[in-house]
Amino acid sequence: MTKYSEEFKLQVVQEYLNGPLGFQLLAKKYALSSTTPLNNWVKAYRKLGLDGLKRKQTKAAYSVQFKVDVLHFIKQTGTSYSDTAITFGMNNPSLIANWNQAFQGKGIEGLKPHPKGRPSMTKKPKKQQLKPGTSADCSRQELEREIELLQLENAYLKKLKAFQKNPDVFLEKHKQQWHTNLKKKDSN
């Protein structure tokens, strides 16, 4: 979409209002793609004066109630987005179309302002102290038991690896430990 300067818009609108040429001929004369922008400029100029042709420098923040009122007006009167924008003193009819689409998709939540950009970094939440008898305490005990089982499994796998590497040395070493353990049990 081509952006036109305020001076150009004012020149074309005044030529339409003061001269014999209509929308079609002026659109051809100034190489506009259609008569729609010219028509919108004339309506905006008649309703809002020179402010209707100016581009807004800052984005206006509209309340949810205002957006609902605009959409309700469209539904009640059946006017176009551009006519509604002029009626409410806006010069951006596509903004109203966006509101309507958001309202159709998400309801009133779609009209509420949304935070822009990336969310801020949050600090890590502090760990809560565990109280005995809570479900967190039970899960902690389960985790400790799982750690113990994994440690046993790890020790078993290390011994298995040592046995596979050199079975004779492994058996001799553990045979001595087994005999000393038997002698301790017999002496009791």
- Read off the pLDDT of residues 132-166 as tens digits, 9 standing for 90 and up: 556 666 788 889 999 999 998 898 888 888 878 88
Task: Say which residue the tokens 């009209």 belong to.
Answer: 111
Residue 22 is classified by DSSP as -
Backbone φ and ψ of 54, nearest 5°: -80, 145
Structure tokens at 110: 């779609």
Report the pLDDT value the prediction gives residue 133, as an integer from 0 to 100.
Answer: 58
Report how far residue 159's alpha carbon sits from residue 147's, in angstroms, rounded to the nearest whole number. Answer: 19
pLDDT in tens, 3-52: 777 778 888 888 788 878 787 878 888 778 888 777 778 887 877 777 77
Q: What is the mean pLDDT of the chain?
A: 78
Report the pLDDT value the prediction gives residue 127, as an integer from 0 to 100.
Answer: 63
Report the pLDDT value the prediction gives residue 1, as an integer from 0 to 100.
Answer: 46
Listed in sequence order, the DSSP H helices in the chain are 6-18, 23-29, 36-48, 64-77, 81-87, 93-106, 135-165, 167-187
Confidence check: pLDDT of 58 > 70: no
Confidence check: pLDDT of 177 > 80: no
Confidence check: pLDDT of 55 > 80: no
Band of residue 170 on the pLDDT scale cut at 50, 70, 90: low
Confidence check: pLDDT of 107 > 70: yes
Report how far residue 18's alpha carbon sits from residue 37's, in angstroms, rounded to the nearest whole number. Answer: 18
Mean pLDDT across 165-186? 64
